[in-house]
Amino acid sequence: MSRLTVSPNTGDQLSGVGRCKDRVKLLDENLPGVILANGERWKQLRQFSVATLRSLGMGKRSLQERIAEEARCLVEEIRKTNGSPFDPSRPVSHAVGNVISSIVFGDRFDHQDQTFLTLLDVIQNLFLELTSPWTQVGIACWGRRGSHVKVLHNFVTERVQRNQKTLDPGSPRDYIDTFLIKMEEEKQNPQSEFHTKNLTLSVVHLFFGGTEMVSATLLYGFLLLMKYPEVQEKVHQEIDGVVGRNRSPAAEDRSRMPYTHAVIHEIQRFSNIIPLGIPHAVLRDTQFRGYILPKGTDVFCVLGSALRDPRHFRDPERFNPGNFLDENGGFKKNHAFVAFSSGKRVCLGEGLARMELFLVFTSVLQHFTLQSPIDPQDIDLTPKASGFWNIPPKYRVCALPR
C-alpha cells in the first residue's frame, strides 16, 4: 500500500488517519493532536509542528549540540556499569526522552529525576499495551491503561500551565511557548485549531512518539551488534578512522561514514519497529488497481512488507548492512526503505530521529565494545511483543571500555 499513499494521484485521498480507536484512543478518546487529527485540523497542526520543530533546531547545529550532550550523558551512565551486565533500556530511553523534552518543554531532566523516570515507565507501558494482542481484537486493560494516560496528561497539563505563567511572547523557549503564542494570535478565530486541548494532545503525541520509537530502534541496534560482532568491529574501525577518540561524533561525519550509515538503516529495516504504521483512511472514493476503495475505508501501509521485500533487499530475513552499500562501499539509497512511513503522513520528526540515531549510536560505539553475557549465537532477536509495533526483547549487555 505504500505505492498508494505516495502516488500523486491518490496520496491526498489517503491522507486521513484510520479509525482504529481501540489502539489510538490509548492516547485520547476524541483523537485531537498533531498525529491523530484529520482534515483541516491535521493540516494546521502538522504545518505548525513541522515549522516549529525547525525553528527550535531540527536539522540545525543547535539541536545537534543538545543531542550530543545527551549522548555524552548516556556514555557516562554506561561507564558507571564498569563492564558488568546491565539492562540498557532505561538509560537509552532517558537520553532520547531528554532530547524531545528539550524541544517541547524547554529543559532536560536529571537521570535520577523520579518524575521523569515515572513518565518513561508510563510511555513504555503504553507502547506495550498498544501492541497487545488483546488491544488488536478490541479488548484491553482499560483501568491500568487509563491510569497511565492520566499520568502523562497531568504532567503535560502542569507544564502548559507553568509556561502560561512565565510566557514571554518575544522569546519562545519551546514548542509549548510557540503554541501558546499561536493561540493568542488566533483567539478571535472560531475555526482555529490552536486551543489548549490540541496543545496538550500534540505535546503528548510528540513526547510519546519522540521517545519510544528512537529508543526501540537503538535498543534493537545494540542487540544486533552483539549478535553480529563482525559488524560491530567494522563500525568501530570506521569511527576510529573518521572521528577518532579525541572528539565527539558530529552530524557532518555521516557523509564520510557509509558503513555506519548503512548499519543504522539496516537496523531500522530489520527491526521493523512499526510494521503497520499509523492507519490511513480514504477521504473520498478512490480507485486502485481496478478496485474502488469507499470513503472512510481504513488502509494500512504495511511497511514491514516493503522492508522485507526480496525484490529490493537481498535475503531480507537476514541482517545485512550490504543492503545499503554499493559495489564500491559507498552508501546506497533504497526507495523501499520506508521505516518512517510514507505518503502525506510520513513521520514529522524524521530529521530529528535520523540525527539522534546517528549521534547516539556512534557515541556509544566510540567508547564501548558491546558484548552479550551469553553466546552471540544464542541471542534471540524475537520481539518482546509484536503486532501494531515490534518491541525489542529485554536483554543485558556488557559495555567494555575501548
pLDDT of residue 132: 58
- Contact between 285 and 258 (Cβ < 8 Å): no
pTM: 0.88
Residue 251's domain spans which residues? Answer: 2-401
Instruction: Output the CA–CA distances (angstroms, integers) from residue 209 to 104, 120, 148, in the order listed.
Output: 12, 12, 15
For residue 17, what is its C-alpha cell? Answer: 488517519
As a whole number, mean pLDDT of residues 157-162 equals: 94
- Contact between 161 and 49 (Cβ < 8 Å): no
What values do phi and psi take at 187, rounded to 5?
Answer: -65, -20
Between 39 and 235, the more confident residue is: 235
Contacts of 119 (CB under 8 A, 6+ apart): 97, 151, 152, 155, 207
Between 304 and 5, the more confident residue is: 304
Nearest residue to 92 (alpha-carbon basis) of 401, 363, 400, 384? 363
Give 82's pLDDT tier (boundaries 50, 70, 90): very high
Give 4's pLDDT tier (boundaries 50, 70, 90): very low
- Contact between 378 and 386 (Cβ < 8 Å): no
Please tell me the total count of domains within the chain.
Answer: 1
Torsional class of 285: left (φ above 0), alpha (ψ -120 to 50), beta (otherwise): beta
As a whole number, mean pLDDT of residues 367-373 equals: 98
pLDDT of residue 142: 47
Q: Which residues of 341-360 are buried (b: 16+ CB within 10 A; e: fewer)?
A: bbbbbebbbebbbbbbbbbb
3-class secondary structure per residue, 213-227: HHHHHHHHHHHHHHH
Give the whole-number percent of the chain exceeding pLDDT 90: 52
Q: How many CB atoms lie within 10 A of CB 294?
A: 9
Least confident of 66-80, 182-196, 230-244: 182-196
DSSP 155-203: HHHHHHHHHHHH--TTS--SHHHHHHHHHHHTTT-TT---SHHHHHHHH
Give 5's pLDDT tier (boundaries 50, 70, 90): very low
Distance CA 51, CA 49 (A): 5
Give 111's pLDDT tier (boundaries 50, 70, 90): confident
pLDDT of residue 206: 87
pLDDT of residue 38: 65
Torsional class of 83: left (φ above 0), alpha (ψ -120 to 50), beta (otherwise): left
Look up the CATH number of the domain holding residue 139.
Answer: 1.10.630.10
Give 269's pLDDT tier (boundaries 50, 70, 90): very high
Q: Is 347 a known ligand-binding residue?
A: yes
Nearest residue to 113 (alpha-carbon basis) of 101, 103, 130, 128? 101
